[in-house]
Structure 1
Amino acid sequence: MPASSPAPPHADGPAPLPAGAAVARAVGATKVYGAGDTAVRALDDVTVAFPTSRFTAIMGPSGSGKSTLMHCVAGLDTLTAGEAYVGDVALGTLSDRQLTLLRRTQIGFVFQAFNLVPTLTVRENITLALDLAGREPDRDWLDALIATVGLGDRLHHRPAELSGGQQQRVAVARALASRPRIVFADEPTGNLDSHAGGEILGFMRRAVDELGQTVVMVTHDPLATGWTDSAIFLADGRVVDELDAPTPDTVLDRIKQLGEG
């Protein structure tokens, strides 16, 4: 990172992890919904790791367990068996209060719906989580985010005055504003056209490359996966393949092979 770049994520929180270390991981992750004849095994003994300063895609057909995996590693849902970690912290050992604090300080979230507050300005939406926590934003980090998101001239606008792509860029900036260890994005381009979706993917790519962020994205779109460093493929609750430096063509080929398998 250039000397003029802002400090890396979470500099005012837990100590930064070594390059290549797992920011978050799952070990033997199993998630079962229901019981008896109606039980559904959404995750089946999944072990994965998400390295620092990398952009990782989780892919798979509907019902493959990709969103369940993200929710469990992000502390939004609990595992039936196995363990999820953020840094060296085992999420299953935390109380509800501790888990809420960890999500607030170490994890950012971006969802398909933008979830912006319509009465707040762009700047107020970006700093919302920090404001609610009573924390002052790091000015250098915030300035770097605003520059990266490319909406410096829209900070006093409200969401209704923005395009869908601009609204989602604000949502991504909000996820990054607290300098989390990791950002989880669930189908972040699902409500956008291809041009706006490309803007969001480019923004997340720059956040990894220029700001040292770690991003994990659930997607079904091979074009979106082409922006990432690696892809994990799930089917029937299991990891069935992994691909480094994916391109849309290699992802489509891999999906075709899995379908024939």
Structure 2
Amino acid sequence: MEAAATRTTAGDDGGSGGVSAARAERVVKAYGEGETRILALNEVSVEIARGAFTAIMGPSGSGKSTLMHCLAGLDSVTSGRVWVGDTELTGLNDRQLTRLRRDNIGFIFQSFNLLPTLTAAENITLPMDIAGRKPDREWVDQVIETVGLSGRLGHRPAQLSGGQQQRVAVARALASKPAIIFGDEPTGNLDSRAGTEILEFLRRSVDDLGQTIVMVTHDPTAAAYADRILFLADGAIVDEMTAPTAEKVLDRMRGFEGRGRTS
């Protein structure tokens, strides 16, 4: 984890150097009514810096996945406001949200979500093909080289290992030059070696390609690849850390044991 200790902390200012990549202002997310009402997010305000790697951590039920889904426009907020870049998501209709996610946001999930009948190359460019946009071949080639897929482009998902399939998913998320990429436990289904490779690719995409990444994780080792970690508990941001190491993250997480409500 030496790289985590020596890199610059691009996220230290929370994006104050310009328009942030994403921002939440006093966001509340509640489920149910009356006595059954559960508060998943409670007045959360946060800025995500451009060109930085941000991790979101917390115990099970802390609201970390809910926060990511609200920031990415995958879930609506009960109250408060959310922006991606300078576009406010709150109040957009379904068609506008779909267009914004398609044109500005990349996603990497724990399940790879690849189409089995398409090759790796076809899966990588699929979102742009659906949108009728011509890929920037120079950029796509750079992404493919960054994630080490040059020799696997003609293979279908069934012919690839889990780690290779997740590399395809990472390349797909990067290929359209999104303003921000959200990852929900992107190494959760991988063994430690493949998981490390994916985290190194994500780190490199920030350092070498200028990408912005927000990753939900429960793994201190994975979080240590980030520039900045946001810690959630009981639906609120209770701490943050810059220039993390796995040991520091693990120590901080021990303080949250036994806390949490809804995921």
| TM-score, scaled relative to structure 1 | 0.91
CA RMSD of aligned residues (A): 1.5
User: Which of the numbers 27, 44, 51 marks the counterpart of 1:46?
Assistant: 44
One-letter amino acid matched to 2:165: Q
Q: How does 1:153-172 map to 2 (within 5 A)?
A: 153-172=151-170
One-letter amino acid matched to 2:191: D
User: Which of the numbers 170, 175, 191 marks the counterpart of 1:177?
Assistant: 175
**Aligned position for 1:121:** 119
Question: Secondary structure at the residue paired with 2:255?
Answer: helix
One-letter amino acid matched to 1:233: F
Instruction: Tell me, in whole angstroms, the C-alpha distance in 2 between the residues paired with 1:18 and 1:207.
Output: 22
**Aligned position for 1:197:** 195
**Aligned position for 1:243:** 241
Structure 1 stretches of 4+ moved >6 Å: none
User: Which of the numbers 40, 45, 55 marks the counterpart of 2:53?
Assistant: 55
One-letter amino acid matched to 1:122: A
Instruction: Tell me, in whole angstroms, the C-alpha distance in 1 between the residues paired with 2:257 and 2:160.
Output: 40
Q: How far 1:186 moved relative to its partner?
A: 0.1
Instruction: Tell me, in whole angstroms, the C-alpha distance in 2 between the residues paired with 1:257 and 1:64.
Output: 13
Question: Secondary structure at the residue paired with 1:129?
Answer: helix
How far does the alpha carbon of each residue in 1:191-223 deviate from its partner, in whole angstroms, 9 at most, with x for none? 001000001000000100000000000000000
1:233 aligns with 2:231: yes
Instruction: Tell me, in whole angstroms, the C-alpha distance in 2 between the residues paired with 1:256 and 1:210.
Output: 33
One-letter amino acid matched to 2:127: A
Q: How does 1:40-189 map to 2 (within 5 A)?
A: 40-189=38-187
How far does the alpha carbon of each residue in 1:68-109 deviate from its partner, in whole angstroms, 9 at most, with x for none? 000001000000010110011110131211111000000000
**Is the contact between residue 62 and residue 235 of structure 2 (CA under 8 Å) also seen in structure 1?**
yes
**Is the contact between residue 20 and residue 48 of structure 2 (CA under 8 Å) also seen in structure 1?**
yes
How far does the alpha carbon of each residue in 1:39-90 deviate from its partner, in whole angstroms, 9 at most, with x for none? 1100000011110010000000111000000000100000001011001111
Q: 1:125 to 1:197 in 2, by over 3 A?
A: same
Q: How far 1:18 moved relative to its partner?
A: 9.1
Question: Unpaired runs of 5+ in structure 1?
Answer: 1-16
**Aligned position for 1:36:** 34
Instruction: Tell me, in whole angstroms, the C-alpha distance in 2 between the residues paired with 1:126 and 1:240.
Output: 37
One-letter amino acid matched to 2:129: D
Question: Secondary structure at the residue paired with 1:93?
Answer: coil
**Aligned position for 2:213:** 215
Instruction: Tell me, in whole angstroms, the C-alpha distance in 2 between the residues paired with 1:122 and 1:19.
Output: 37
How far does the alpha carbon of each residue in 1:212-256 deviate from its partner, in whole angstroms, 9 at most, with x for none? 000000000000011110100000100010000111001011112
Question: Secondary structure at the residue paired with 1:45?
Answer: strand
The farther-off stretch of 18-27 and 120-129 is 18-27
Question: Secondary structure at the residue paired with 1:156?
Answer: coil
Count residues with an aligned counterpart.
245
| TM-score, scaled relative to structure 2 | 0.90
* Percent identical residues: 63
Q: How far 1:260 moved relative to its partner?
A: 8.9
**Is the contact between residue 43 and residue 236 of structure 2 (CA under 8 Å) also seen in structure 1?**
yes
One-letter amino acid matched to 1:92: T
Instruction: Tell me, in whole angstroms, the C-alpha distance in 2 between the residues paired with 1:252 and 1:184.
Output: 23
